[in-house]
Amino acid sequence: MALFAILTIICGLLYPLTVTVIAHTLFTDKAEGSLVLRDGQPIGSLLIGQAFLSPKYFWGRPSATSPMPNNGASSGGSNLGPTNPAQIDAVRMRIEALKRADPGNIAPIPVDLVTASASGLDPEISIAAAYYQLERVARARNATIEEIRGMIARLGKARYLGFFGEPRVNVLALNLALDRAFARTGDADPR
Amino acid sequence: MTAQSLVILLVFLATLLSVAYPLGIYLAKIGEGTPIRGLNWMKKTENFFYRLAGIPLDSEMEWKDYALALLVFNTLGALVVYAVQRLQAWLPLNPQALGNVSPDSSFNTAISFATNTNWQGYGGESTMSYLTQMLALTVQNFLSAATGMAVAYALVRGFKRHFAKSIGNFWHDVTRSTLYVLLPLSALFAVFLTSQGVIQNFSAYQEVNLVEPLSYQQAKTGPDGEPLTHAESNRMMESAIATTQVLPMGPVASQEAIKLLGTNGGGFFNANSAHPYANPTPLSNFVEMLSILLIPAALCFAFGRMVGDIRQGWAILGAMTVIFLTMTSIVLVAEQQAHPVLQALDVDQAPGELQPGGNMEGKEIRFGIGASALFAAVTTAASCGAVNAMHDSLTPLGGMVPMLLMQLGEVVFGGVGSGLYGMLIFSILAVFVAGLMIGRTPEYLGKKIQPFEMKMASMVILVTPLLVLGGTALAVMVDAGRAGILNPGAHGFSEILYAFSSAANNNGSAFAGLSANTPFYNILLAIAMWFGRFIPIVAVLAIAGSLAAKKRVEVTAGTLPTHGPLFIALLSGTVIVVGALTYLPALALGPVIEHLQLHALR
């Protein structure tokens, strides 16, 4: 009984507190959630995906969280199985939304752009998924395709040594870079 | 399977073995209680704790006393977890003001964490206060893993000793496993994880302004907060606009580290190790996979050293590795397959330089197919149950393998301690089968295997299938069981079969579409977890006690060698045959049928 109490205090209080102190000393930003600031205000985390729906932004992975997508307070996937008609309907609807935003695009859609992520908060998309949206974003921003492609190249990550990690780019970082490089067109921004 | 996946798998195995070997030497010293150079101060601290708790410094226990101490210790653990959840609203460190957890969910979670299952019936970030996560859940992550190590040490002592009455001291084994192994390794991993972006703080959840406001549809709720329904149970929807996003916070890294090292698996978040705040990079993912299998693999080496023949440890590890490689390859191939309907819809599922392709539903892009499929195999080979992809959305065959790995009894690396003792029970069965074939009394590690050992070993091997198949059968027969199913058809059956396989084998992962946070599942699964954990443990300790009392028989020309390729084949064959005979009919009704249905879809 007393031993249980001793081990509880060590593992349940001393251990997490010690780790917190060390983590904060060494990696303050990361321990606090890798927040991104704009004009001094936190506008998200590099690790937590946000939903983007307008043509001028790159769209992230579909999210199955409720009530709204990319709900940070309630992570999770769709849990739909591959033979479930609901899963196939969901993919169909995502394809339609992408086509509506970019009717001229007839390229095959990369699979990660029409399937829900595991956490519902995936902050990244594949490079293929970014390329698929390239023309749409360039058009909406009055930018050249080369300019936008350069941004993807700068912010994207390749497979390390050809096998480690996946080719991907952070959606929030990419969209913030877009906003910085080009005027925030198309809507009246109160800020 | 892509070449990339194969390279990941091989690099992973090579890294695992090279880290596990030195750790095994250390673990053997912990089990034998030999002094460790440079750690005299730890020994003093340890002895100070024993004096404080009134535990004698040098007394040992017979197996019955050992088992009793273990049961008392774990029951106490379960009671504390239950109490903290039921009282969390009034306790400190609850910045989200989360309410007390319901009685049946608290009961399930208490059993789940005390049995090293760590099945999550709840959504972590929306249910558990920081205090509950630390003082109840993290503590059991340590202590249930230490309990597993203690049982493994006790069984190894049974083989090692002769004419002995005792098999060690449970209090010493648990304390030493925690203080010398789990605690320092966890602290190291936790700090590494924060370097990758895993959060570690005590702040309240942060609300941030979205870059682009988000309009979405949500169910209209009445004044009672329940969704309004319209005519034929269609929910009435209304538009809403979100301008902010809530970012969860908390002491995640410290819990994530021990959750994996202790093969626990109960996550801080609902999305478990798929959550970017719990597993942010490919490197954090690689290290998380390593930490799941690290101690189970190292214990094989420790076992070899403790019984004085390192080849015995290699044989056990060899059998585990053979099964692991085979199973992982199947998941890697299955998850890379293109979905036939998506193919018809002109979705690009081919792997390449720019994308992972394959079945990306329920997977994160930073892990792709290779690192997600490998994680799924690792977490179910070990009795961990953490997930970095949603298993419910795996392809039928890709989901069958994790299920089968659990059903084999969690002996392919397995849980911390429980993997080794489980595999040693299969070794006993393997030498028994071989003994029947060559007509000799079976022996293992110089001990005769006699009726008492065989009775206990059979019990260890048979109790989990009874719980899995019995529980599944019951759940599919009653309305309360069927009500939880999310996916229709064969997949729905798989959800239930997976749940009971996971619970009774103390894994804790799920086909999470199953709504298991109901009184029916909370109670039934808790029963499966408790008996699936402690009946085998008591039987294993009984074997340990009986073996320790025996004399050592000399090796003769007629002794079956229990190292080398022949024994590895015999052992892995026994595991596969027992598992296949028990579960093939059930698997045929779930994943096998679904696989055929999937490829008939157009």
Q: What is the mean pLDDT of residues A68-91?
A: 94
Per-residue model confidence (pLDDT) at position A189: 42
Contact A90, A116 (CB under 8 A): yes
Query: Shortest CA distance to B372 belongs to which of B342, B341, B396, B398?
Result: B398
Whether residues A73 and B126 touch (CB distance < 8 A) is answered with yes
B238 in the same domain as B92: no
Kindly report the backbone phi and psi dihedral angles of residue A180, in degrees, each rounded to the nearest multiple of 5, phi listed first: -70, -40
Q: What is the mean pLDDT of residues B519-527?
A: 95
From the list B249, B356, B362, the residue facing A116 with the nearest CB is: B362
Whether residues B365 and A166 touch (CB distance < 8 A) is answered with yes
How many beta-carbon pairs under 8 angstroms link A with B?
383
Cα angle B61, B143, B50 (rounded to 5 degrees) comes to 50
> If you compute the radius of gyration of chain B from its CA atoms, what whole number of angstroms results?
24
Sketch the domain layout of chain A as residue ranges. Answer: 1-32, 34-181
Largest CA distance in chain B: 82
Using DSSP bridges, classify how beta strands B234-235 and B237-247 pair: parallel, antiparallel or unpaired: unpaired
Mean of the per-residue pLDDT values for chain B? 93
Q: For residue B17, is pLDDT > 90?
A: yes
The contacts of residue B227 (CB under 8 Å, 6+ apart) are: B219, B220, B221, B235, B236
Percent of the residues in chain B that have a pLDDT greater than 70, as a whole number: 97
B54 near A CB under 8 A: yes
Q: For residue A112, is pLDDT > 80?
A: yes
User: Looking at B285-345, which runs of residues are DSSP E strands?
Assistant: none
Q: For residue B224, is pLDDT > 80?
A: no
State the Cα–Cα distance between residues B537 and B21, nearest whole angstrom.
26
> If you compute the radius of gyration of chain A from its CA atoms, what whole number of angstroms results?
20
B213 in the same domain as B192: no
Per-residue model confidence (pLDDT) at position B234: 56
Tell me the pLDDT band of B345, cut-offs 50, 70 and 90. Answer: very high
State the Cα–Cα distance between residues B14 and B339, nearest whole angstrom.
32
Element (H, E) at B248: none
B215 in the same domain as B85: no
B161 in the same domain as B117: yes
Per-residue model confidence (pLDDT) at position B201: 94
Per-residue model confidence (pLDDT) at position B123: 80
Q: For residue A166, is pLDDT > 70?
A: yes
Q: For residue B219, is pLDDT > 90?
A: no
User: What chain B residue is nearest to A49 in terms of C-alpha separation?
Assistant: B276
| B602 in any annotated domain | no
Q: What is the mean pLDDT of residues B522-545?
A: 96
Chain B residues closer than 8 Å to A76 by CB: 123, 270-271, 390, 512
Please name the residues between 234 and 293 in chain B that touch chain A, using a CB distance below 8 Å.
Answer: 240, 242, 245-249, 251, 253-255, 257-258, 269-271, 274-277, 280-283, 286
Query: Shortest CA distance to B382 belongs to which of B362, B396, B402, B368?
Result: B402
- Cβ-based neighbour number of residue A191 at 10 Å: 7
B262 in the same domain as B146: yes
SS3 readout for B98-158: CCCCCHHHHHHHHHHHHCCCCCCCCCHHHHCCHHHHHHHHHHHHHHHHHHHHHHHHHHHHH
Chosen from A15, A37, A87, A184 to mutate, greatest number of chain B CBs within 10 A: A15
Chain B residues closer than 8 Å to A159 by CB: 4
Tell me the pLDDT band of A187, cut-offs 50, 70 and 90. Answer: very low
Q: What is the mean pLDDT of residues B107-114?
A: 94
From the list A33, A42, A118, the residue facing B362 with the nearest CB is: A118
Q: How far is A62 from chain B (nearest CA, A)?
A: 10
Using DSSP bridges, classify how beta strands B347-348 and A109-110 pair: parallel, antiparallel or unpaired: parallel
Per-residue model confidence (pLDDT) at position B229: 56
Chain B residues closer than 8 Å to A185 by CB: none
B243 in the same domain as B107: no
10 Å CB burial of residue B253 (0-12, 13-18, 19+) is buried
Please name the residues between 517 and 546 in chain B that touch chain A, using a CB distance below 8 Å.
Answer: none
Q: For residue B183, is pLDDT > 80?
A: yes
| B114 in any annotated domain | yes
B63 in the same domain as B29: yes
B227 in the same domain as B91: no
| B532 in any annotated domain | no
Kindly report the backbone phi and psi dihedral angles of residue B558, in degrees, each rounded to the nearest multiple of 5, phi listed first: -90, 0
Query: Shortest CA distance to B262 belongs to which of B126, B419, B369?
Result: B419
Per-residue model confidence (pLDDT) at position B222: 62
Residue B35 Cα distances to B24, B167, B438, B542, angstroms? 16, 19, 43, 28
Domain count, chain B: 2
Per-residue model confidence (pLDDT) at position B559: 84
Please name the residues between 86 and 105 in chain A that touch chain B, using a CB distance below 8 Å.
Answer: 87-88, 91-92, 95
Contact B563, B314 (CB under 8 A): yes
| B212 in any annotated domain | yes
Q: What is the mean pLDDT of residues A87-95?
A: 96
Whether residues A43 and B211 touch (CB distance < 8 A) is answered with yes
State the Cα–Cα distance between residues A21 and B79, nearest whole angstrom.
30
Q: What is the mean pLDDT of residues B457-486?
A: 95
Kindly report the backbone phi and psi dihedral angles of residue B279, in degrees, each rounded to the nearest multiple of 5, phi listed first: -155, 75
Cis omega (within 30 of 0) for bond into A67: yes
The model's pLDDT over A3-61, given as tens digits with 9 standing for 90+, comes to 999 999 999 999 999 999 999 999 999 999 999 998 888 999 999 999 999 999 999 99
B212 in the same domain as B84: no
Whether residues A50 and B491 touch (CB distance < 8 A) is answered with no
Query: Shortest CA distance to B384 belongs to which of B316, B290, B243?
Result: B290
The model's pLDDT over B375-385, given as tens digits with 9 standing for 90+, comes to 999 999 999 99
Query: Shortest CA distance to B409 belongs to which of B401, B418, B396?
Result: B418
> Any alpha helices (H) in B418-558, and if so which ranges?
418-438, 451-477, 479-482, 490-504, 519-548
B7 near A CB under 8 A: yes
- Cβ-based neighbour number of residue B481 at 10 Å: 21
Per-residue model confidence (pLDDT) at position B601: 84
From the list B4, B255, B271, the residue facing A77 with the nearest CB is: B271
Whether residues A2 and B348 touch (CB distance < 8 A) is answered with no
A84 near B CB under 8 A: yes
Chosen from A11, A13, A17 to mutate, greatest number of chain B CBs within 10 A: A11
The contacts of residue A104 (CB under 8 Å, 6+ apart) are: A135
B223 in the same domain as B276: no
Per-residue model confidence (pLDDT) at position A2: 87
Q: For residue B232, is pLDDT > 50?
A: no
**Which range marks the domain in which residue B220 is found?**
206-247
User: Among B60-64, B236-240, B365-369, which is the least confidently predicted range?
Assistant: B236-240
Residue pointed to by tokens 């410290």: B254
A37 near B CB under 8 A: no
B77 near A CB under 8 A: yes
- Cβ-based neighbour number of residue B530 at 10 Å: 22
Residue B593's identity, in one-letter code, is I
Residue A159's identity, in one-letter code, is R
Q: What is the mean pLDDT of residues B102-107?
A: 93
User: Among A132-141, B173-182, B440-449, which is the least confidently predicted range?
Assistant: B440-449
Element (H, E) at B271: none
B575 near A CB under 8 A: no
What's the complex ipTM?
0.94
The model's pLDDT over B552-573, given as tens digits with 9 standing for 90+, comes to 988 888 788 899 999 999 999 9
B234 in the same domain as B177: no
| B549 in any annotated domain | no
Whether residues B342 and A114 touch (CB distance < 8 A) is answered with yes
- Find residue B219's DSSP bridge partners: B237
Percent of the residues in chain B that have a pLDDT greater than 90, as a whole number: 85
Structure tokens at A131: 């390329």
Direct distance between the N- and C-terminal alpha carbons of chain B, in angstroms, rounded to an integer? 24
Please name the residues between 84 and 143 in chain B that touch chain A, using a CB distance below 8 Å.
Answer: 123, 125-126, 134-136, 138-139, 141-143
Chain A residues closer than 8 Å to B249 by CB: 33
From the list B54, B178, B195, the residue facing A2 with the nearest CB is: B54
Query: Shortest CA distance to B440 belongs to which of B558, B563, B566, B564?
Result: B558
Concatenate the DSSP letters of all residues of A54-80 into one string: STTS--------SSSTT-TTS------
The model's pLDDT over B493-510, given as tens digits with 9 standing for 90+, comes to 999 999 999 999 999 999
Query: Shortest CA distance to B402 belongs to which of B212, B591, B533?
Result: B591
10 Å CB burial of residue B555 (0-12, 13-18, 19+) is exposed
Q: For residue A184, is pLDDT > 60?
A: no
Determine the 3-state secondary structure of B440 from DSSP: coil
Per-residue model confidence (pLDDT) at position A137: 96
From the list B3, B367, B491, the residue facing A83 with the nearest CB is: B491
B188 in the same domain as B66: yes
